[in-house]
Structure 1
Amino acid sequence: MKQLLTFLCLLSIVGQSHAQVKDKVKTTFQTSREWRPTIDNRADAVMVYGVGGNPSDKSKRIPFEERVKSWKDRGYITHFMTGIAWGEYQDYFTGEWDGKAHLDEGQVTVKGDTIWHGRMVPYIVPTQNFLKYLKENHVKRVIDAGIDAIFMEEPEFWARAGYSEAFKREWKNFYGFDWRPQHESPENTYLSNKLKYWLYYNALNEVFTYAKEYGKTKGMDVKCYVPTHSLVNYSQWMIVSPEASLASLPSVDGYIAQVWTGTSREPNYFNGTEKERVFETAFLEYGSMESMTAPTGRKMFFLTDPIEDWPRDWADYKKNYQATFTAQLLYPKIADYEVMPWPERIYEGLYKTSANSDTKEHIPRHYSTQMQVMINSLNTMPQSDTKVSGSSGISVLMSNSLMFQRFPTHAGYDDPQLANFYGQALPFLKRGVPIKTVHLENVGYKEALAETKVLLMTYANMKPMEMESHQHLADWVKSGGALVYSGSDQDPFQSVQEWWNTKGNNYTSPSDHLFELMNIPVAAKEGIYKYGKGTVAIIRRDPKDFVIKADNSQQLLDVVKDLYEKQAKAGKLIFKNSFYLQRGVYDLVAVLEESISNEPYSISGNLIDLYDPQLPILKTKQVQPGEQCLFLNIDRVKDKQKPQVLAAASREYEENITANSYAYLAKSPINTTNISRVLLPQKPKSLRVNHKEVLEEKNWDPHTKTYLLGFENNPDGVSVVFQW
């Protein structure tokens, strides 16, 4: 039980501020390969993956230090990434490291099957011995190689695991009593998943603390980051991970939000239909990652992937890349990005030309051009205080314990495709309300609920891990907040032995404790209750009912609308079918399907369409339902007399501006085509690309004073010189 008390003490750190010194890297990517001209995408930094590489990469292994040097020689800041739940750690499992085999430390299902990430690469139960190995054989080595930023990705414990001998030993150490099979009761499931959660919380804290302390002995300030899927995705995929609690640790400097087509295409329910809703799911995933760290000041990188893990066709990749890319940019306070994972599989992989074809090809030139235009926009994407269009101030409460109740099911109670979460979020998001999420673990921070007018919550799919969080919620309501609690409190996890029914507490449901703090009767009936300056609305239905059945969310909509307009006095709750955001010179538009209408969104101006590889200038565009767009609005470019590349499938270096010329060096991967739109103070008289005259009258647009330039890319650089 000593470890449990330590864990709870660590969790209590939440609510205290830990100022972090942020690095200067804005864009980065991960690769297990050495530098090659085909993958030189020109982000600020590269995360060189694995001392031994990536288990999914079957290429010839080049020593880590040589891979690092190859990228440094090309001007990259070099960082290190590896998995903490899996990786090229065969020397540990086979006994090469300490003379003992450790395959029994893999994650094991009830059938006795190890869960594998690759050949001889099990998902790991992070024992103390494994952490010692990771620190000595991997972390120390990369710091010795001069690396001062370490990314430990994907702390993942599968919910269906928990039956290995290693896990049983960890159970006894943690709880002080013998292991219990999780499938036998809700309480066992809850206890099992809480332990999985703690094991990776502890693992990251130990490894990062070691990295920082060892770095200091070498005069280095080592930064430590956690690349992780969102709480939305891990909960839906039935994986347990520490998530929000890590943000309170002094050893954690930030995160990468691992959101991409593969996570966001997981189907969910809305209006009685289960299907993929990639844009909406991505929006909620990125939102849960932003809210996880916003009160703590940790750095957050947003990730998108131009393809995904699952083999599909290029048209599918392109459509969903645009959806996830738009979703990430609709969070204007986040302006740091992992521009892609695994450029080797993006630029060098073979995928189907279409859904109905078995023919495979490398990335089409039009798509690689568009992709590079998009990722280069991230190098200049500004952080902004602007807000997404729509009625703001409605949030859904989340907790890490969302991951605890997913597998197995008990007493016939099911939460299909995380419907209890989506049942609160999608009825509003689909009506053009930019709904946010709030993490229960963060409500001790005053900033966590500062912008929330109406908070939606349920305990049908999660439970409060700390009693103190209820006092924070009650104080917020007392000060004028509006809380909507939806739940029958009948799910089988209500009765697990936890703080609300032990140590002198005897509440049937954790919601009873919350309600009591607000002078609301125990087992309160459906209705409206006042507390201080605020209001609590109780709906005695689990939120999944609002989306599993068709046309069944009106009660929730009506209650929230009434509280939003009358209690919160936040203005009229407006429903629409689109989102718009102005972000510096960029305009973002997303139009929703399954919404209140099928009307297109009309946008006007001098707009460069960044999702069209030809970079056309549009005066107006009708964005249709199901479409997303990113434009560079030339009308908002501040200094139009300054020559500059507005959009390009390359990154510019060595810029030189004179009274009558503009020169630069354009770099991008080989075997790709560059399209650039360049703003000039007047019509050019000469254009030399690699010292060859290529000026064409037809490429000059006199209205916007931009020139459309195209050539074949080269990572060594292509010289461009305009004269007028």
Structure 2
Amino acid sequence: MCKSILFCLLVAFSVQAFSQSTPAASKVSGQPGEKTVFQTSNPWKPVTDVRADVAIVYSVKDHHGKGNMTFEQRVQSWRDKGYKTHFMTGIAWGEYQDYFTGKWDGKWHLDEGQVTQKGDTLWHGRLVPYIVPSMNFIKYMKEAVIKRVIDAGIDAIFLEEPEFWARSGYSTAFKKEWKEYYGFDWRPQHESPENTYLSNKLKYHLYYRALNECFTYAKEYGKTKGMNVRCYVPTHSLVNYSQWMIVSPEASLASLPCVDGYIAQVWTGTSREPNFFNGEKKERVFETAFLEYGSMESMTAPTGRKMFFLTDPIEDWPRDWADYKKNYQATFTAQLLYPMIADYEVMPWPDRIYQGLYRTSANSDKKAQIPRFYSTQMQVMINTLNNMPLSENKVNGSQGIGILMSNSLMFQRFPTHSGYEDPQLANFYGQALPLLKRGVPVKTVHIENVSFPQTWKDVSILIMSYANMKPMDKTAHDHLAAWVKNGGVLIYSGRDDDAFQRVQEWWNTGGNTFQAPSEHLFRTLGLKEPYQAGEYTCGKGKVVILRNDPKEFVLKANSDEEYINTVKKLYEAKAGEATLQYKNHFALTRGPYEIISVVDENSDASPYVLKGKLIDLFDPEIPVLDQKQVNPGEQAFLYNIGSVKNPKTPQVLAAAARVYDEKVSKKSYTFIARSPASTTNVMRVLLPAQAKKIQVTDAAGKPVESKTSWDAASKTCFLSFENNPDGVQVKLSW
């Protein structure tokens, strides 16, 4: 019998979460024709006809947006234009005024909002609080939202952003959930690290429960109508939620049978959150995005769940168009550097992208809709995603270095206890940025997935710390130890002196008397006390202990040398004759596409130069270049004409429109181009010879004004004309 009620509850929660992550999951491939998606709360409009595969219709609220339509009418408006339709709404917030104001069940529920220590409710909009997801609210979601969506013929449901703010946890609703879950009265989280840990575990559990309940119902109700309903969670990355001090189930959801996959909500707004490197706090958008996408990819890769990567050509915060463009390129490049992900949300909220007003420059208050050069470039970029292939290629650089993460990264971010600070998630970035800034493509490994053999694929060195997270289940240490003893190399970095080391948890209760969870790990590895800094042999592998918290490597300038030298020495000993490659760039080839990013803050300030016949996909004129130079702090996205498999076959290589109904004859090539109204199309078409006749007509057969040119060296025809969602017919004859 457990020695304390608290210990029993903590162990029960941890074992439940871990045991549900261990069964092998079947591969979820989704449905054909669901490679690209976007989300919108509005009905179809000519100016937002994005031409992705799927329109995810947002919210069941009738008369939503400017269309003055019911939910079902909005869905039908997209279906009428040839789109598959899915559904999305928030699980932590949404237009649920009928629930909160008593229209649904006759009871007022605004007291179910998330509340801070000061008594302030956290709001997402008028009469829309961030929710403490009670069972009654879950019942509302099932009956008033999910049932209606499935009745409308929707077979894919996205419940987004299960978010519980770390600074909340003081409402009557939360106190009630606490008593039901733990069996004893609520304790204020600010009073002790243990209370904080308990509070955040409960927040984690509540959204785990909410999604499990809602998605299980969706699948069961769908079956009664002969439908296979698929369920997805659009969510920020573990990196971002930890940095923004939000608690969410994250990785544990990947093991639920009712969860088919995720959307990785990574964009300029998340990736521009400042971090520390070499003593300087600033935005590092590409590097942060690379780590965010990496944490999402590694979260699901071992479980086989489907993953959509999202980027946003703008962001929630109002800025100027040049800022949006620069950072969109950085995040877009970062997502493409994960070659085993090839499904995308090409944009959220096309209405605000195409019709929103934003500053024309950083120093001006003048606002305008999206400039033509940017909408053209954006459409070239998103239309490549319809054809972006999976690839076995890897980002160039030294492979095999992983950084361990845990959902508990979110548990000890707020409030601060005993004066221990982790500014801007520096304990995580202290492990990642010293390597990433030297051109080493580090990957992340989730402790929740260590039981899956696939997790360890291509990992030869694992870096970890318990300075900013704690193991939720001791059996994770068995898997870590087995990997090391089989030849893995583990680098543990930490002083183990933060206040959360001593919360009442499995490592110091129930017969265990460890002062820190790392001591249990070291004992499991076969090491002997006092676990001092140094290198130890463990079976076929090695363990190196560094008695520094990782934040120490980045909070001050020139403080990462010992850390980097340790990684380098171990990597090269493990790899034999191979050296740990330092460089200032990342490059990847995916089919015909070349993706490049050159980092700054590197001792090497030289540009990256690629030669060939290259279409510059970040240039709205899509020119053909003989070489591309990418400078530090810049990215490039190129179409390599030399890699075309069938160069004698006429084909569109790049376009700011989606191409349909292609027909090739001996002397001609015809197709239809569709894209939103009030945008300009550019396209580069590979032909066997220069076109003698070019016909561009609208859907009624009337001529459309166009610009054309011929590049003899690449055998490509450049075409430009105004887009039309009804289609523009192009016929090229030679």
**Residue pair 1:526, 1:540 contacting (<8 A) in 2 also:** yes
Equivalent runs, 1:21-40 vs 2, <5 Å: 21-23=28-30, 24=32, 25-40=34-49
**Residue pair 2:696, 2:705 contacting (<8 A) in 1 also:** no
For the structure 1 residues 234 and 576, does the alpha-carbon distance in structure 2 shift closer, same or farther, using more than 3 Å as the test?
same
For the structure 1 residues 604 and 222, does the alpha-carbon distance in structure 2 shift closer, same or farther, using more than 3 Å as the test?
same
How much identity, in percent, do the aligned residues show?
A: 66
1:612 aligns with 2:612: no
Could you list the per-position Cα deviations for residues 457-505 of structure 1 after superposition, in whole angstroms to 9, with x for gaps in the alignment? 0000000001100010000000010100000000000000111111111
Q: Which of the residues 575, 578, 581 maps onto 2:585?
A: 578
Query: Which residue of structure 1 aligns with residue 655 of structure 2?
Result: 648
**Residue pair 2:42, 2:67 contacting (<8 A) in 1 also:** no
**Residue pair 1:27, 1:44 contacting (<8 A) in 2 also:** yes
Mind listing any 5+ residue stretches in structure 1 that lack a counterpart? none
Greater shift, 77-86 or 558-567, is seen at: 558-567
1:456 aligns with 2:457: no
Query: Which residue of structure 2 aligns with residue 42 of structure 1?
Result: 51
Cα drift, residue 16 of structure 1? 1.4
Cα drift, residue 569 of structure 1? 3.5
1:391 aligns with 2:398: yes
Task: Provide the secondary structure at the position in 1 that maps to 2:47.
Answer: coil
Q: Which of the residues 366, 371, 378 maps onto 1:359?
A: 366
Query: Which residue of structure 2 aligns with residue 324 of structure 1?
Result: 331
Task: Provide the secondary structure at the position in 1 that maps to 2:536.
Answer: strand
Equivalent runs, 1:60-71 vs 2, <5 Å: 61-71=68-78
Task: Provide the secondary structure at the position in 2 that maps to 1:654.
Answer: strand
Query: Which residue of structure 2 aligns with residue 296 of structure 1?
Result: 303
For the structure 1 residues 483 and 570, does the alpha-carbon distance in structure 2 shift closer, same or farther, using more than 3 Å as the test?
farther
Query: Which residue of structure 1 aligns with residue 449 of structure 2?
Result: 442
Cα drift, residue 3 of structure 1? 8.2
Q: Which of the residues 542, 545, 550 maps onto 1:535?
A: 542
Query: Which residue of structure 2 aligns with residue 709 of structure 1?
Result: 719
Cα drift, residue 248 of structure 1? 0.5
For the structure 1 residues 46 and 344, does the alpha-carbon distance in structure 2 shift closer, same or farther, using more than 3 Å as the test?
same
Equivalent runs, 1:491-570 vs 2, <5 Å: 491-569=498-576
Scaled by the length of structure 1, the TM-score of the pair is 0.98
**Residue pair 1:413, 1:492 contacting (<8 A) in 2 also:** yes
1:670 aligns with 2:677: yes
Could you list the per-position Cα deviations for residues 417-468 of structure 1 after superposition, in whole angstroms to 9, with x for gaps in the alignment? 0000000000000000000000000000011122111110000000000110
Q: Which of the residues 600, 621, 629 maps onto 1:593?
A: 600
For the structure 1 residues 281 and 704, does the alpha-carbon distance in structure 2 shift closer, same or farther, using more than 3 Å as the test?
same
Could you list the per-position Cα deviations for residues 514-565 of structure 1 after superposition, in whole angstroms to 9, with x for gaps in the alignment? 0001121234111001100100010000000000010000011011111101
Task: Provide the secondary structure at the position in 1 that maps to 2:324.
Answer: helix
Cα drift, residue 622 of structure 1? 1.3
Q: Which of the residues 193, 199, 203 maps onto 2:206?
A: 199
**Residue pair 1:20, 1:253 contacting (<8 A) in 2 also:** no
AA matched with 1:704: S
For the structure 1 residues 61 and 456, does the alpha-carbon distance in structure 2 shift closer, same or farther, using more than 3 Å as the test?
farther
Query: Which residue of structure 2 aligns with residue 176 of structure 1?
Result: 183
Cα drift, residue 641 of structure 1? 1.1
**Residue pair 2:43, 2:67 contacting (<8 A) in 1 also:** no
AA matched with 2:55: V
Greater shift, 21-30 or 276-285, is seen at: 21-30
AA matched with 1:562: K
Greater shift, 653-662 or 140-149, is seen at: 653-662
AA matched with 1:707: C
Query: Which residue of structure 2 aligns with residue 264 of structure 1?
Result: 271
Query: Which residue of structure 1 aligns with residue 21 of structure 2?
Result: 14
Task: Provide the secondary structure at the position in 1 that maps to 2:425.
Answer: helix
Q: Which runs of 4+ in 1 moved over 3 A?
A: 1-8, 57-61, 567-570, 691-698
Cα drift, residue 53 of structure 1? 7.1
Mind listing any 5+ residue stretches in structure 2 that lack a counterpart? none
- Aligned residue pairs total 722
Query: Which residue of structure 2 aligns with residue 371 of structure 1?
Result: 378
Scaled by the length of structure 2, the TM-score of the pair is 0.97
1:719 aligns with 2:729: yes
1:233 aligns with 2:243: no
CA distance, structure 2, for counterparts of residue 553 and residue 15 of structure 1: 36
1:483 aligns with 2:493: no
Greater shift, 347-356 or 565-574, is seen at: 565-574
Could you list the per-position Cα deviations for residues 268-291 of structure 1 after superposition, in whole angstroms to 9, with x for gaps in the alignment? 000000000000000000000000
**Residue pair 1:688, 1:695 contacting (<8 A) in 2 also:** no
AA matched with 2:41: S
**Residue pair 2:395, 2:441 contacting (<8 A) in 1 also:** yes
Equivalent runs, 1:213-252 vs 2, <5 Å: 213-252=220-259
Cα drift, residue 204 of structure 1? 0.4
Query: Which residue of structure 1 aligns with residue 710 of structure 2?
Result: 700
Cα drift, residue 208 of structure 1? 0.2
1:349 aligns with 2:356: yes
CA distance, structure 1, for counterparts of residue 707 and residue 291 of structure 2: 46
AA matched with 2:625: L
CA distance, structure 2, for counterparts of residue 51 and residue 694 of structure 1: 40
What is the RMSD computed on CA atoms of the aligned residues?
1.5
**Residue pair 1:529, 1:536 contacting (<8 A) in 2 also:** yes
Greater shift, 218-227 or 13-22, is seen at: 13-22
Cα drift, residue 570 of structure 1? 7.5
**Residue pair 1:687, 1:695 contacting (<8 A) in 2 also:** no
CA distance, structure 1, for counterparts of residue 143 and residue 83 of structure 2: 26
Could you list the per-position Cα deviations for residues 79-109 of structure 1 after superposition, in whole angstroms to 9, with x for gaps in the alignment? 0000000000001000111110001100000
Query: Which residue of structure 1 aligns with residue 644 of structure 2?
Result: 637
Cα drift, residue 20 of structure 1? 3.8
Cα drift, residue 595 of structure 1? 1.1
Query: Which residue of structure 1 aligns with residue 314 of structure 2?
Result: 307
Task: Provide the secondary structure at the position in 2 that maps to 1:544.
Answer: helix
Cα drift, residue 654 of structure 1? 1.3
CA distance, structure 2, for counterparts of residue 45 and residue 492 of structure 1: 48
CA distance, structure 1, for counterparts of residue 576 and residue 219 of structure 2: 48
For the structure 1 residues 409 and 695, does the alpha-carbon distance in structure 2 shift closer, same or farther, using more than 3 Å as the test?
closer
Greater shift, 208-217 or 18-27, is seen at: 18-27
CA distance, structure 2, for counterparts of residue 636 and residue 362 of structure 1: 37
**Residue pair 1:535, 1:567 contacting (<8 A) in 2 also:** no
Cα drift, residue 702 of structure 1? 1.0
**Residue pair 1:312, 1:355 contacting (<8 A) in 2 also:** yes
Task: Provide the secondary structure at the position in 2 that maps to 1:332.
Answer: coil
AA matched with 1:640: P
CA distance, structure 1, for counterparts of residue 19 and residue 603 of structure 2: 43
AA matched with 2:732: F
**Residue pair 2:707, 2:721 contacting (<8 A) in 1 also:** no
